[in-house]
Structures are given as structure tokens and as C-alpha cells.
Amino acid sequence: MQEKQFDIVIIGSGAGGGAAAQELSGLCKDGVRIGLLEWGPKFRESDYTGQELEMAQKLYFDGGGVLTKDKSMTLAFAKAYGGSTVVYTGTSLTILKETVARWGVPGITWEDLKERSKKYISQNNVHLLEEDKINDNNALFRDGCRKLGYRVEQFPVNVKGCQGSGMCNLGCPNAAKQGTHRVQLPAAEKNGVQVVTSCKVERIGDRVLEAVVADAGVGHPSAWAPGRYRVRAKVIVVAAGAVNSPALLLRSGFGRSLPALGRYFTCHPALILVGQHEKPITNYYGHPKSFYSDHFAESGHFLLETCMYFPFTTAKNLAGFGPEHSRFMSRMDLLQMILVLAIDEAAADNRISVDGSGNPVVDYTLTSATLDSLYESMKVCAKIFFAAGAAAVHAPAGKKFLIKAEEAGRLDEFITRDELKTGKVSIAAAHLMGGCRVGENSAGSVTNVWGRVHGVPWLYVADASLFPKAAEINPYVTIMAMADRSAEDIRRRAPQLLN
């Protein structure tokens, strides 16, 4: 086993790890050695082909099809230089004041998160797309919502030179999306942070970790040769995401003193709903996610966002099969899509654990409340589709495959709660959060409000696993803000931690 030594090691390079790396990189000029270990490879520009299956296999764990323990839901999260910021749509919202109040963690204020968010919104070129870049799929959602009196807003997005490939979830083939792989990581490397890709951290011990570098077979080669490594560091920052951070800490034995480790996992369970128009609309050209509605966030506990998916993803998210499914699929140019995100409660029993081999297990139960939200959302979306002029709507909990426009007044009859059955309806986790939640003590949380693991002064967490409850919006800016806090605490404590 080869030995390596750093002062600070960061594990993971997504929104959290990337932000932490940049914020700590200023220490390099004082001689502090910082390493960042990322499980995935750094892709070459030519690797972004826009092909659905090829990119899913390259970018996502289990090709985007990680299943929960009870197999009711899939989870998609990436491994790459830049983590999941390579595959999101770039939607950049600041957490709401009400949400932070609901988090109810003394020491975490909305004003603080807002200030930190502002920095990343500026760095990552967040702005609203011009009207001529809005395709029909997005405009119809906006217009449908407005007709019905639902509040609807345009998403600020973090793109530079977006050419509207619509392939955001497959990694932007035009290098336009400003994830950490375009902004924070290059800045950190410029300041002296050493990034090691294709490097999986297996275990953390007392200021030491064990890692394996493997040839990913794609992208740039890792900075280290394939093999096993023992890496010593005075500070370790875990930013491997809401599944892998708790899993890493659990298999390293930290669960013995931290009963909340892995628990309170939330994920915004999501449905893709589809309307069909009589004439072609522009849907796969242009940015796929330009508008959202939080009109039902308080009353129905769900959010609505525009989306446009690829053939396989679309097909598997429709309930049904056979001739009517095929006919529907055969005209993707007629389809309008909405993504529903349920705002799920943080429950202690929804948790990440590890199996006998140390691999993560996502033990998540969809509650009645979440299923109720998803059910209500189907009727709301059907109304939006029809208000936008759709000829038919596919509701996964529909009593029939398609509800026609002339049946729009009979939604309660055709979309029923008892048809919303797990397995029949395809549910996917949209945003993975919690598992190393912040809080006041080790009885109910894993870290303090600065991301420092309770009772372990050299160990930090800096990613979405810190969230004590759901973000209730697309979370990446908030992840960066939380990681920013962890980095600030490390900088503040550097004299005692690093000497």
C-alpha cells in the first residue's frame, strides 16, 4: 500500500466538495497541502456524446438506476470530477426563509445562507435565459399555470454559452453548464489543490484514510497510478453526497457514537408527468428546465418544474406498456413534460445503512403523506396540461392510459388515489439530502452547525447530507452555502488543526 500525506483531504468534488476545495485553497499559499479525492473520472470534452445510455453508464452510479431497499424508488446521482453538478440542469435557487425556519437549527440562519449563496450565484454565472431561448415545452407550462392562477417563476440557471442541447442531465456537450467542474475545481487546482480522480475512499480512521485508485476506462487518467493508498491528513472533509458520505462514515465505524448517522434522509420523491399535444411542439431543443411553480409547496407539499427527458427515461416513467404506450412514445415531438417533486418529511427511519460489504443501502419508505402529495400533483398537472392546450394527458395513477381533453372535467374519476401503487407508478428521487444532519448534539445529529462531526474535531462534512430536513427547492446552491460554512470553520481553526 502506498503512503500519501496532506494537511487537508476533501472526499468528493460535487457542489459541496468543489465549494469546500475552492474556499480552502487559499491556505495553499501558506504551504498547506490539500488533496481532493474523487471517485469518478474527469471527463474529456469529447466524452460528452449526448447518447442517453452511454452517458448514463459513464456518469451515474448504477447507470442512474440505484434502487431503494424496498425497490419502490430509483435514485440518480453522479460520480465524476464535479459530482452531480455535471448532470443537473443548472437550476440555481436560494433556499427560502420559511424552509430555514422549518429546519429549526439554532445557529443556521437564512440571512447567512443567503449571503453565502449570493457568492456562488455570482461565481457560477447564474442568470435568467432570454425569452427567445424558451422552448414551447417551457412556455406552455408557464402559460398553463398563469391561466389557472398558479404562481410560476423562471428558473435562474448557471450556464455560459448555452446552446440549448437539452442534454443537461447527460453532461453538457457544449461545456456551458457552470458546475464545480467548470468553476470551483479549476480555481482550487490553480491555487494548489491536488485533485485525484478515479479514487474511491473505502474507510476513514484517525486522521488517515484508505483509498483505491482504479482505471475508469474513460476520461483523463488519474493523477495517481492504480493501486491502494493510505492517505494521512490532519483534517478530513467528507463531501461524497447524501448516500456515500453517511455510508463511508458508517463503514468506518462512526455510527457507534453517532446514532443519527445515516438517518433523516430525504430526497424529494418525483414523478414525470406527460401531456400530449395535437401538433408538434419544441421540447428537446433548448434548455429543458426554465420554469417552476411553488404554488402548492405549502398547501400540497409539492413543487412543479418543467423537464424534458430522453426516450428510455420517458418510456420507463410512463405507467403501462403495449400498443398504447408505443403509440404515445412514437411521437415525442408532441409531448409536454412536468416534473413533480414531493417535499418529504425527514424521518429517522428513512436512512442510509451499509450492507455486509460496506456498500450503501437506501432504506426509504414512501409515506402516505408523500404519496398523497404525488396523487394531488397528478390532477394539478393534468389541469396545467389541458390549460396549455394538450389533447391528452398521461397520469401514472390514471384509470386509463390517456385522459382526453374533453374528459378534463372528470379528473377525480379518472385519477384515483388507489391506483397510485408503488411499482405501477415510477418514482425517482430528485434531490438526495440528509444522513449527516447538522444539529446541536450527537443524540439527534451528526455534525455541529459548522459541519464538524460531533466528538471528532478533525472530521468535517460538507455536502447535502448536512441538511437537517428537505431543501424544498433545487438544492445545489444551498449545498455550496453549507459547504462554505464548513470551510470557514476549518480556516478559523486552522492554527490548532494543522499544527
Partner 1 sequence: MLSSGERLFLLQAASVIVPEAARLDAGSKEEFLRIIERALETRPVAMQRQFKMLLRLLNLAPVFYYGRTFDTLETQKRREFFSWLQGGPIGLLRKGFWGLKAMVFMGYYGQPEAASTVAYAPSKEGNEKLEKMARV
Report, in Å, the least distance between residue 54 CB and partner 1: 9
244 binds partner 1 (CB under 8 A): no
216 binds partner 1 (CB under 8 A): no
Q: Please provide the distance, in angstroms rounded to a whole number, between the alpha carbons at the two ends of the chain.
A: 26
Report, in Å, the least distance between residue 338 CB and partner 1: 18
358 binds partner 1 (CB under 8 A): no
Report, in Å, the least distance between residue 57 CB and partner 1: 6
Number of residues that bind partner 1 (CB under 8 A): 54
174 binds partner 1 (CB under 8 A): yes
Report, in Å, the least distance between residue 37 CB and partner 1: 22
Out of 154, 419, 444, 497, which residue is the one contacting partner 1 (CB under 8 A)? Answer: 419
320 binds partner 1 (CB under 8 A): yes
- Site residues for partner 1, 426-465, by CB under 8 A, read 426
> CB under 8 A: which stretch of 1-9, 166-174, 178-186, 436-444 binds partner 1?
166-174
132 binds partner 1 (CB under 8 A): yes
- 98 or 333, CB closer to partner 1? 333
- 66 or 471, CB closer to partner 1? 66
53 binds partner 1 (CB under 8 A): yes
292 binds partner 1 (CB under 8 A): no
462 and 497 Cβ atoms separated by less than 8 Å:
no
> CB under 8 A: which stretch of 33-41, 48-56, 84-92, 374-382 binds partner 1?
48-56
Which 3-state string (H, E, C) describes the chain?
A: CEEEECCEEEECCCHHHHHHHHHHHHHHHHCCCEEEECCCCECCHHHCCCCHHHHHHHHEHHHHCEECCCCCEEECCECCCCHHHHCCCCECCCCCHHHHHHHCCCCCCHHHHHHHHHHHHHHCCCECCCHHHCCHHHHHHHHHHHHHCCCCEECCECECCCCCCCCHHHCCCCCCECCCCCCHHHHHHHHCCEEECCEEEEEEECCEEEEEECCCCCCECCCCCCEEEEEECCEEEECCHHHHHHHHHHHCCHHHCCCCCCCCCECCEEEEEEEECCCCCCCCCCCCCCEEECCCCCCCCEEEEECCCCHHHHHHHCCCCCHHHHHHHCCHHHEEEEEEEECCCCCCCCEEEECCCCCEEEECCCCHHHHHHHHHHHHHHHHHHHHCCCCEEECCCECCCCEEHHHHHHHHHHECHHHCCECCECEEECCCECCCCECCCCCCCCECCCCEECCCCCEEECCHHHCCCCCCCCCHHHHHHHHHHHHHHHHHHHHHHHC
- 31 or 323, CB closer to partner 1? 323
> CB under 8 A: which stretch of 201-209, 226-234, 253-261, 414-422 binds partner 1?
414-422
424 binds partner 1 (CB under 8 A): yes
214 binds partner 1 (CB under 8 A): no
- 162 or 233, CB closer to partner 1? 162
- 34 or 162, CB closer to partner 1? 162
- Site residues for partner 1, 54-83, by CB under 8 A, read 57, 62-63, 65, 67, 70-72
- 193 or 366, CB closer to partner 1? 366
Torsions phi, psi for 486 (to 5 deg) = -60, -45
Report, in Å, the least distance between residue 38 CB and partner 1: 19
191 binds partner 1 (CB under 8 A): no
Binding residues (CB under 8 A) for partner 1: these are: 50-53, 57, 62-63, 65, 67, 70-72, 132-133, 135, 162-167, 173-174, 280, 282, 284-286, 310-312, 314-316, 319-323, 325-326, 329-334, 359, 419, 421-424, 426
